Amino acid sequence: MDRAAIDGDRGGMRQDEIWDAETAQRYDTPGTGMFAPEVLGPTVDRLAALAGRGRALEFAVGTGRVAVPLAERGVPVTGIELSVPMVTQLRTKADEATLPVVVGDMATATAPGDYTLVYLVYNTISNLLDQAAQVACFRNAARHLGPGGRFVIELWVPELRKLPPGQQATVWCAEPGYIGLDTYDVLRQQVVSHHFHFGEGREARLGRSPHRYIWPAELDLMGQLAGFELESRHADWSGAEFTAESRSHVSVYRLPG
């Protein structure tokens, strides 16, 4: 099934419709949520160490949540990003000379330069909705790297163990003002994330995004198809052990030296 057909089944939610100007303007939450120092600090520390003295390329760079502080750390960073509104938001924080961005699809677009590190964080490989595109994304990362180069992926572990027969949804976050709920289609390996933000009284805002979920073993096979070996897998950016209970992982793939 091609991407357009899948998007159609998902209520016409294409990536460029999801990552529009309104979403881009709301995306940054300086100091809190995904922008909290306890989230970003370990992320940037680990990526800076993995980049070494080389250059880093972020696939789906978004508004530069990670790329901007990584560049401020002294690592030269380039981005690839599909959404022009997200890049416009990034440009309020870093100019083209500081953080060049190629507008395009991370599965196919080329960014000029040589890199020691390509990284793709915050579950974003799952925004590619079919297996072929996800494998192409790995191959595109490999094309940008020299021998010994690394591709880092941060991805959630699909909550399949929470789905007894007949149940299609999991609530992965319920806190004051917010409920996050995923609906699974286990036959087609698709999931739609529903984000409910509650305001005063009856006020509520709903955001939805379609994904193709990936079990870690399938991710490793995608890496192998692109010539990578799994170098390490941890439960977070600080190096916590990855276990059967881990909800997410940071996986480092490496090309042979």
Residues that bind ligand SAM (CB under 6 A): 15, 19, 60-62, 65-66, 80-83, 86, 105-107, 121-122, 124, 127-128
Which CB sits closer to ligand SAM, 106 or 111?
106
Q: Judge residue 256's burial from the number of C-beta atoms within 10 Å of its C-beta, 0-12 exposed, 13-18 middle, 19 or more buried.
A: exposed
**From the CB of 164, what's the least distance to ligand SAM, in Å?**
29
CB of 65 to ligand SAM, least distance (A): 3
SS3 163: coil
Q: How many CB atoms lie within 10 A of CB 227?
A: 14
206, 211, 207: which is closest to 184 by C-alpha? 211
CB of 122 to ligand SAM, least distance (A): 4
Which residue type does 197 have? H
Closest to ligand SAM by CB, 62 vs 243, is 62
Residue 25: CB minimum distance to ligand SAM, A: 13
Of 13 and 163, nearer to ligand SAM (C-beta) is 13
Distances (CA, A) of 105 to 6, 9, 83, 251: 17, 21, 9, 22
Position closest to ligand SAM via CB: 62
